[in-house]
């Protein structure tokens, strides 16, 4: 794929053209053969019809609606330490195999790339406590798995994107750019991104608590970045890597969360801050477990989507293995119309840990329970089958 990036201050405006025919269901192979065509032209109904019948929400796709799929943390395997790599079988091609049709069943698919894409080198971070030290360096060629799965936008603002210093950050950006995947989250280098598709401009920004990334604790900067995106784009998507980690921290307290001596932000307040500044969809992750969902000013919030595809080194027992995908349908202004949680759980199969579709709907039950407990006034209902609708039918 070929990408032209125009830099306007720190705002990236990208027009994507296809140098080759893509088999991605989102792009529509028939109309993506032109060399250097200015933008991807994909109508919402085309994107949905390629994989029709997979989710009941397909019927909601019309020219007046937009669709999104979001997932949490992605870490596809480790090539570090050099003498002890922890890589999945078959170059990771199995990782997204089971969930790929779901991931491709929306116009925009977004996730959080935990760690760096880098083959060798980089300065590994030093840890004061080796017991809690994890450094995530994934082979560059594994980006192919992300492309094949259908990811359009990936946040790189998280606590592992600085694990290999500037070399890691720079190479990750280069690899994603060459692969045609949009990305955002590093301070001063890729603070935001705009992807144009089907005549709609989708703005994207990503925030975390970590040095080198846009911070969830810096509200002024967050407002600035999001309102600039909002002025430029039709829809603004925000990734937030925020909150304390682990199974004990699955609730929205509406307070600032502290974890291992760090301020890990206030997810409830941060989501509202960016929505007030113009964000239309807010997708959270970082706690490694699913959390509640919410709606504010008609805009959808997932506070944490947990671990999605962490092929090694991350605890996936119990709810830590829950790998929900959330599909959201909005109008062209970003107002929530309806959604759906699709349940997957990370398990080992074929020698690989990966998200597998879960017919017991465990993710749905968990997110429904947490939402009803933590945000009882949220104007959404999560149904047992995973559908998300507006309370009172939106009246």
Binding footprint of Zn ion on the chain (CB under 5 A) = 158-159, 286
d(CA 134, CA 2): 34
Judged by beta carbon, residue 105 or residue 210, the one nearer Zn ion is 210
* Helix extents (H) in 258-348: 267-276
Judged by beta carbon, residue 150 or residue 284, the one nearer Zn ion is 284
Report yes or no: 364 and 266 within 8 Å, Cβ to Cβ: no
Shortest CB 73 distance to Zn ion, Å: 6
d(CA 164, CA 120): 10
By residue count, the chain amounts to 395
Shortest CB 310 distance to Zn ion, Å: 10
Shortest CB 80 distance to Zn ion, Å: 17
Shortest CB 119 distance to Zn ion, Å: 22
Report yes or no: 117 and 161 within 8 Å, Cβ to Cβ: no
Distance, CA of 359 to chain centre: 23
Judged by beta carbon, residue 158 or residue 343, the one nearer Zn ion is 158
Report yes or no: 242 and 216 within 8 Å, Cβ to Cβ: yes
Burial, 242: exposed, middle or buried (Cβ in 10 Å; 0-12, 13-18, 19+)?
buried
Report the sign of the C-alpha dihedral through residues 367, 368, 374, 375, in that order: positive
Judged by beta carbon, residue 210 or residue 330, the one nearer Zn ion is 210
Shortest CB 24 distance to Zn ion, Å: 27
Shortest CB 210 distance to Zn ion, Å: 9
Nearest to 389 by CA among 324, 350, 320, 340: 340
Judged by beta carbon, residue 1 or residue 244, the one nearer Zn ion is 244
d(CA 235, CA 217): 23
Judged by beta carbon, residue 10 or residue 313, the one nearer Zn ion is 313
CA separation (Å) from 72 to 118, 196, 257, 308?
Answer: 21, 23, 19, 5
CA atoms within 13 A on the CB side of 331: 5
d(CA 230, CA 213): 20
Shortest CB 75 distance to Zn ion, Å: 9
Taking residue 18's Cβ as centre, other Cβ atoms within 10 Å add up to 21
Judged by beta carbon, residue 212 or residue 286, the one nearer Zn ion is 286
Report the sign of the C-alpha dihedral through residues 349, 354, 358, 363, in that order: positive
Judged by beta carbon, residue 28 or residue 185, the one nearer Zn ion is 185
Shortest CB 151 distance to Zn ion, Å: 17
């Amino acid at each position: 794929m070929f990408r032209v990036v125009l830099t306007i201050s720190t705002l990236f405006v990208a027009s994507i053209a296809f140098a080759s025919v893509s088999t991605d269901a989102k792009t529509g192979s028939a109309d993506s053969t032109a060399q250097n065509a200015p933008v991807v032209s994909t109508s919402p109904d085309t994107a949905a019809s390629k994989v029709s019948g997979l989710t009941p929400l397909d019927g909601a796709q019309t020219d007046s609606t937009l669709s999104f799929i979001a997932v949490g943390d992605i870490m596809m395997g480790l090539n570090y330490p050099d003498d002890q790599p922890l890589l999945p079988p078959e170059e990771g091609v199995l990782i997204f195999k089971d969930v790929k049709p779901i991931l491709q069943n929306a116009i925009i698919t977004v996730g959080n790339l935990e760690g760096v894409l880098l083959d060798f080198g980089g300065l590994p971070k030093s840890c004061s406590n080796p017991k809690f030290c994890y450094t995530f360096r994934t082979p560059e060629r594994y980006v192919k798995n992300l492309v094949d799965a259908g990811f359009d936008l990936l946040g790189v603002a998280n606590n592992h994107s600085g694990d290999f210093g500037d070399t890691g950050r720079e190479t990750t950006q280069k690899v994603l750019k060459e692969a045609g995947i949009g990305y955002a989250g590093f301070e001063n280098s890729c603070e935001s991104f705009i992807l144009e598709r089907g005549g709609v401009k989708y703005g994207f920004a990503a925030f975390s608590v970590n040095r080198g990334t846009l911070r969830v604790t810096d509200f002024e900067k967050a407002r600035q970045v999001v309102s600039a995106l909002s002025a430029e784009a039709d829809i603004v998507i925000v990734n937030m890597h925020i909150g304390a980690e682990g199974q004990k921290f699955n609730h929205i307290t509406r307070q600032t969360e502290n974890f291992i001596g760090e301020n890990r932000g206030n997810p409830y307040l941060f989501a509202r801050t960016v929505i007030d500044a113009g964000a239309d969809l807010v997708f959270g992750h970082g706690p490694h477990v699913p959390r509640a969902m919410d709606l504010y000013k008609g805009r959808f919030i997932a506070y944490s989507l947990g671990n999605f595809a962490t092929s090694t080194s991350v605890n996936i027992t119990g709810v830590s293995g829950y790998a929900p995908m959330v599909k959201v349908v909005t109008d062209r202004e970003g107002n929530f119309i309806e959604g759906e949680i699709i349940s997957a759980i990370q398990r080992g199969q074929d020698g690989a840990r990966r998200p597998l579709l879960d017919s017991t709907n465990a993710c749905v039950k968990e997110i429904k329970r947490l939402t009803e407990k933590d945000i009882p006034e949220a104007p959404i209902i999560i149904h047992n089958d995973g559908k998300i609708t507006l309370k009172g039918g939106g009246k």
